[in-house]
Amino acid sequence: MLLLAVTVIAGILFTWCVLAHRLARWSITAPIAMMAAGIALTSGSDPPLVFDFGDMAGFEHAVEVVLALLLFVDATEVPSGVIRRERSVVARLVGGALPLTLGAAFLTALVFFPDQPGWILAALATVVVPLDLAPTAAVVRDKRIPARLREVLNVEGGLNDGIVSPVFLLCVAAAGEAHTGGGDYAEAVLDAVGSAAWAVLAGSLVGTVAGRLLRLAWAKGWTQPAATRLGVLSVPVAAYSLSSALGGNGFVASFVAGVCIAPAMRHLPRDAVEMTDDLVTLLTLALWFLFGQIVNDEFWDGFHLTVILYALLAVTLVRMVPVILALIGTDLSLGDRLFLGWMGPRGVTSVVFGLLAAVELREEGGGFISRVMVITVMISIVLHGLSAEPLGRRYARRRATSSEPERVA
């Protein structure tokens, strides 16, 4: 069954690759295609494919590794030049809009789900907030949209997940402690802080040392481009495993390693991170296929109106209002602020966080978090995916009527 599933996933991915340009006209991205295929092939009373998530420990480690690689790539691809040039906008988005968005997601959850424990709702907020531009990658590459806005989105997308990750771990730990009835939140917080500290230590050590060695080896001519790509791929793996061995969190360590190695990447071949990026793309697409079965499992009992309404608000106003407020006083027009507020697609990070919450909080409300995550991601994929082309046309019309020159990225 496993080999058949791999063959089917590979065949669907190859089909999308062959028709990628034509499918892009209808905003059908690879994640959307893989999710749709997963829903179709795992539905019904006797589906062609069924994935058994019985080994929850192994499944948990697998999705953690996927997230670790994803966070590493995001951290290495954050353009430092954009951060310096747009430091005011980036600081407002990350330091102002992100905390406000987390708070808005939590308060909205209190209104819609008053029977759920507070820490479960706090964990839910960290699941539905993280940004993932992969489902709407066409927007980031669309030259009709001003380069400045695309650059800012890239930076925010690279930093957002890594910042939310420790908060997610803290909320999950506190939710687990609250369920046991011990009420020793201080111990849960200390454990979460200790785990984050070990992760930062391991990630900093591995990323800094690896970056200096790779930079030295490339400058001295001791290595080759292919070996450099392989060396970069080994960095998040080493950071993840070292952090886990020390009692830290692996995916936080991988993100920190990416931040620490990023300065050295400017002195390495341009394609140094491509092998890691391609592997991340392949693994996340497989995860999107598995997500299709999760959708079927969650929809088996029918739709829940409160969940749908909350998810709809989570991907729209919960982000848009904080972003618009945080960007007041910048030189961005209202239309540009609305664009940045709207472009907050949810994707792989939310899926992984939701799955980890379901594993860690099986008896405390993990199933509830997983259900809300599924609806949130699906609504986001539809809304943000379908809006990609209209947004491009809108900015094209605005450029045609404006005499202001466009800065080249």
pLDDT, one tens digit for every residue, the chain (409 residues): 567 777 877 888 888 788 877 776 676 777 778 888 888 888 777 777 777 665 566 677 788 888 889 889 888 877 667 778 888 898 999 999 999 999 999 999 999 999 998 889 999 999 999 988 876 766 777 788 888 888 888 888 878 888 888 889 888 888 887 766 555 566 666 777 788 888 899 999 999 999 999 999 999 999 998 999 999 999 999 999 999 898 888 888 998 999 899 889 888 888 888 889 888 888 888 888 888 888 887 665 656 789 999 999 999 999 999 999 999 988 898 989 999 999 888 888 898 898 888 888 877 777 889 889 999 998 998 888 778 778 888 888 887 776 555 454 4
Of 253, 214, 249, 223, the C-alpha closest to 236 is: 253
Pick the CATH number of 2-400 from 1.10.3470.10, 1.10.3720.10, 2.40.160.20, 1.20.1530.20: 1.20.1530.20
Task: List the structure tokens of 14.
Answer: 């190859």
From CA 107, how far away is CA 93, in angstroms rounded?
20
pTM of the model: 0.83
From CA 160, how far away is CA 60, in angstroms rounded?
22
DSSP secondary structure letters along 196-240: HHHHHHHHHHHHHHHHHHHHHHHHHT-S-HHHHHHHHHHHHHHHH
From CA 42, how far away is CA 48, in angstroms rounded?
6
